[in-house]
Structure 1
Amino acid sequence: MNFSYSFFTLNMNSPFITHKATHLKVPHVLINIFLNKIIGYGQTVILPYYFYNLDEMNNIFKSLEKLKIFFSKIQKEKIKDLNEVLNRIRIIKSINLNIYSAVEMALLDLFSKMNQKYLHEFLSIEKREELITSMTLGIKSIDLLKIDLDKYKNWPVLKIKMSNNLKDNYYKVKFIFENYKGKIRIDANGSWSISEAKDMFKFLENYNIEFIEQPLAADSFRNLAELKQSTKIPIILDEDCKSIKDIKKISNYADGINIQAYKSGGILNLIEMFKEAKRFNLKTMIGCQAESSLGISALSHIASLADFIDLDGHLDFIDDKYYGVSIENGKITLPENYGIGVKINERQL
């Protein structure tokens, strides 16, 4: 079993703006794991507002080198069991969570290919007949918003990023509902104070909003309790939900969670989080960051576990390195190849 890694940057068609950051270029880590002429692919993103200090970046490089040494030591072993490899990786000290997620993805791809199964089939996840994802629109001017609403008019659901400029938010919401007929989700990315959130929720109750995601900054549970009592609009938490341990607490303050691989330690952890959320009667959304088609394709294989799907992170890239999942007017079609199912885009190598 051989292991390699590389870094690459994907470029967006236009800046994607949220309350936290503006993205135009997104760094990725690619993991390749080889066995018996079969390659397993894994990836993760490195976002500035999660990896903002030198120590964390050093940890990423150290984690990759530790894994390189680990795989070189087991190179001649005849390993046929996925869990055996993962269990041995888990005991390696101080492996970065994002990097572990990418390695796990590559191993899942590898072993499902070896077993001639699609990833969802390998994971014993029933394939839903219809998978519908939202399209996320970043913070932008009315002129650019108008262009996007026309471009995505046939999508059944949009997720709209909001800032703490309430006047601007009010105007854009009115404009959206005048020019778009599908479902609307709102994502504040923790940008509102409790007073701003109360004002926004009161205003948004005049519209058919499916839910509002992360209205307050992370760890604002006392204010969340107050906010939840004052509204009928469902609240989904993202930044507050990093691991399975967070779910029980969240169930007292929100209606659902946004589950993402990059922050939760991989696809297998996500599957357990779906089960735990169901135990506490929470709605679930499977979300993404700006993953390539590789990451989005992998997540799409488990998307049938979620109540809501937000897997559009690859659609703005102009130089995606993979062909995988296809999305037309929000409808997800999984790749036809075994494993995750992606192919290399030779033009972007």
Structure 2
Amino acid sequence: MQVEVNLFTVNKRFPLTISRGTTAQTTNVWVRILQDGLEGWGEASPFGVGNHSQSTDTIKNCLEQLAPVLQAFSPLQRQEVEQVLIKQQVPSSVRAALDIAMHDWLGKRVGLPLWQIWGLDRHVIVPTSVTIGINSPAGARARARDWLQFTDVRLFKVKLGSPEGIDADRKMLLAVQEEAKNQEFFVDANGGWSLSDAIEMCNWLANLEIKYVEQPLPRGQEKSLAELKKESSLPIFVDESCFTSADIPHLANYVDGINIKLMKSGGLTEAMRMVHTARAYGLQVMFGCYSDSTLANTAAAQLAPLADYLDLDSHLNLIDDPFTGALIQQGRVLPNDLPGLGVQHSASTT
């Protein structure tokens, strides 16, 4: 198979601030694999967690170096390709882009969408949350109003872990709840709390009927999750602490759920393994995203029937997304009936 690599830059309608910083623009990588007159598409988006970083340049350079190696393989050889990529210690976002593209190619080859190949039921897909980044109380209220006017919101994900401390977190969350009455909420601290702050906030949040708290402690402090679990009145999910299925057994006794992201997992193949591993340990599952376009989020949506929660909203906040794919209906991100991912590029649809 031939591999083509292109960069594209997307801009956020509203910059997103989390405990680690603010993002307004990202340059992502569009991967196209070609064989037998068919194209499979994938996406890699840059991300960073602590001292773990996968930049656009790193992704692009790695893909270009891999292209000659992959010529010896067919998109039907996903298992063999995966082992080659793991052996070469390829970044997870690179593996994700290639794995998504090979799945897309397969779907186009057989003329079926991926969700249908897997026998999944679109009717059970839950609504996606939409994200409110760290902001002033007034700014957060305005962002909530924007979301409510823009789409059919069913669930808000509020980013906490403010550098100004948990008092600022409290004020911001209360402002959003006042603005968005009758909505459901969960919070994501992105590892921005200490253990003592996490215990205090989890119990305070439980009184506000928050559904769960995501990544309360920084990556690297997983041992403290045991104490937090004993003290918390809220379910605990992990994101930055859980990249692949191999991480789940070490976390299972201390958390209630995991956040699967294709860029962390290395693609749909490993995401499916993570779902089954999590279920075997009695954990709940959510799918999340980074600064992904419609391409990557539509890929994740193919597995959406397997999730308890979805946070696939990054493409909804883009003003120049070059792709179309999954549909938004009643607050749900639904994969369409087109073969493969069902994604099209704007240049080919005009």
Question: TM-score when scaled to structure 1?
Answer: 0.91
Match of 2:154 in 1: 156
Match of 1:176 in 2: 176
Match of 1:64 in 2: 63
Task: List aligned pairs for 1:1-349, cutoff 5 A.
Answer: 1-47=1-47, 60-73=59-72, 79=74, 81-83=76-78, 86-87=81-82, 89-90=84-85, 93-153=88-148, 154-164=152-162, 165-180=165-180, 181-328=182-329, 330-346=331-347
The SS at the match of 2:25 is: strand
The CA deviation at 1:160 is 0.2
Alpha carbons 1:63, 1:94 under 8 Å: kept? no
The CA deviation at 1:293 is 0.3
The CA deviation at 1:279 is 0.5
The amino acid of 1:286's aligned partner reads F
Residues 285-330 of structure 1: per-residue CA shift (max 9 Å, x gap): 1111111000000100101111111111111111111011122452
The amino acid of 1:12's aligned partner reads K
How many percent of aligned residue pairs carry the same amino acid? Answer: 28
The amino acid of 1:151's aligned partner reads D
Give the Cα separation in 2 of the matches to 1:15 and 1:64: 28
The amino acid of 1:216's aligned partner reads L
The amino acid of 2:231's aligned partner reads S
Indicate how the Cα distance of structure 1 residues 279 and 159 shifts in structure 2: closer, same or farther if over 3 A, else same: same
Alpha carbons 1:28, 1:46 under 8 Å: kept? yes
Which shows bigger deviation, 137-146 or 18-27? 137-146
Alpha carbons 2:82, 2:95 under 8 Å: kept? no
Indicate how the Cα distance of structure 1 residues 84 and 18 shifts in structure 2: closer, same or farther if over 3 A, else same: closer
Alpha carbons 1:321, 1:348 under 8 Å: kept? no
Indicate how the Cα distance of structure 1 residues 91 and 300 shifts in structure 2: closer, same or farther if over 3 A, else same: closer
The CA deviation at 1:67 is 2.1
The CA deviation at 1:114 is 0.5
Residues 242-293 of structure 1: per-residue CA shift (max 9 Å, x gap): 1111111111111111111101111110001100001101111111111100
The CA deviation at 1:226 is 1.3
Give the Cα separation in 2 of the matches to 1:50 and 1:337: 38
The amino acid of 1:173's aligned partner reads L
Alpha carbons 1:110, 1:339 under 8 Å: kept? yes
The SS at the match of 2:106 is: helix
Indicate how the Cα distance of structure 1 residues 96 and 221 shifts in structure 2: closer, same or farther if over 3 A, else same: closer
Give the Cα separation in 2 of the matches to 1:46 and 1:91: 19
Alpha carbons 2:203, 2:233 under 8 Å: kept? no
Alpha carbons 1:40, 1:106 under 8 Å: kept? yes
Residues 205-253 of structure 1: per-residue CA shift (max 9 Å, x gap): 2210100001111132332211111122100011111111111111111
Aligned residues: 344
Q: Show structure 1 runs of 5+ residues with no match.
A: none
Alpha carbons 1:152, 1:329 under 8 Å: kept? no
Indicate how the Cα distance of structure 1 residues 25 and 59 shifts in structure 2: closer, same or farther if over 3 A, else same: closer
Give the Cα separation in 2 of the matches to 1:261 and 1:307: 16
Give the Cα separation in 2 of the matches to 1:219 and 1:325: 35
Give the Cα separation in 1 of the matches to 2:47 and 2:75: 34
The SS at the match of 2:315 is: coil
The CA deviation at 1:119 is 1.2
Indicate how the Cα distance of structure 1 residues 235 and 197 shifts in structure 2: closer, same or farther if over 3 A, else same: same
Indicate how the Cα distance of structure 1 residues 49 and 104 shifts in structure 2: closer, same or farther if over 3 A, else same: same
Indicate how the Cα distance of structure 1 residues 185 and 10 shifts in structure 2: closer, same or farther if over 3 A, else same: same
Q: 4+ residue stretches of structure 1 with deviation over 6 A?
A: 50-53, 55-58
